[in-house]
Chains A and B, each alone.
Chain A
Amino acid sequence: MTALTLGSAINAGLSKALENDDKVLLMGEDIGKLGGVFRVTDGLQKRFGAQRVVDTPLAEAGIVGTAVGLALRGYRPVVEIQFDGFVYPAFDQIVCQVAKLHYRSNGRIRMPLVIRIPWAGGVGAAEHHSESPEAYFVHTAGLRVIAASNPQDAYVMLQQAIASDDPVIFFEPKRLYHSKGEVDLDADLADAPPMHLARVPREGTDATIVTYGAQVRTALDAAVAAEDDGISLEVIDLRSLSPIDMNTVAASVRKTGRVVVTHEAAREAGVGAELIASITEECFHYLETPPRRVTGHDIPYPPSKLEKHHVPDLDRILHAVDLVLERGAGSSPTGGASAATVEGGVR
């Protein structure tokens, strides 16, 4: 085991993939000499050469679209989109081409393409640098969507994503790039849990918090804080947003009967909406109280001085936990200080 930051773990995963398969190549803006604006690809061009670690023109549709052609020619491109908010110019290539070519060709064309996206907020960044676009991709058939939350997973899942014959959107929570964790660099990929399975980083009995990405940390902090109040929270790190591992989620909800979903992305038609709909379909009779969502507001990402009001924090999660546990003032869904008002508007 080695203690690595999330960023270095990704670097190590890329390095391993480049080493193991000479069809793997990295493409993106500033990823070569500079090592990426987050230095995630630091040193890789030096080691593997400019043919394997390619500094591209500044054109997102160009990066993804040429990666499609390279995949058609037998390569396994791993592209970096510099920031979440810059994936939109490539959106057409991703949803119309990358996602659909396998289907359109009756399975004859494979798109083993990974699109890495430094993702979400909490780092005081400028406009367009803190977005959570995951729902767009989850909504698109043909894409797998992965959200890493810790260095070990990032290291392993990135290699799994590169090995997958399906296209994978790989979200890297940028506010965790510098946070450390233990990584088993010699982990055998064959023994690692497949990337479509969720993880339960903390077991509990009173309520389930379902989340992913950087919110996993916040949820775990909330669980520690709740423990002081004698509340036992189970935390699920989805890891995969398409497909969602409903077995793990449903098993937990059947056990606790109460559920809070939290993510940083906006609420409307977000991953939380999908989760709660599926939970309701599958576990309705086990639910003790209505599930709750704690999400970013349905607003464009706010100026960074206000982002702490947008990105759900420990207190907002605990508040929702109180609501699903029917604890404290205003906890009744029908009376008191309406929960709906606090949680962001009545629908």
Chain B
Amino acid sequence: MIKSIQELEQIRKKALEELEFRKQQGEGIRVVVGMATCGIAAGARPVMLKFVEEIQKRNLQNVTVVQTGCIGLCKYEPIVEVYEPNKEKVTYVKMTPEKVSRVVAEHIVNGKPVYEYTIGYEEAKEANK
């Protein structure tokens, strides 16, 4: 299975440096993707992978992506929660890979949540119907 153990050993060295850097940065940002059945059916997989890809592309060392089960809001799936240290959590709904790019650029990198994608915006819209 492992064609190049050498390559893996090189990755290990680099990874240890990355980890050391992370530690120095202190507590980072956590992106939580809902992956219950309804989330998966609604497209959570490409959303999750898009986060991983963007974070890798931009070399953001202090961001981690994790999954959670049922968030309890089926009709808004795929749902993503962003936790920043010392800030209130932001809940994004009906996520798509395209929306992910913007959330990473504006929120994760520049600290400005994308209001139009949040649950608050969605609920306000519904209340005004």
Is the pairing of A and B real? Answer: no
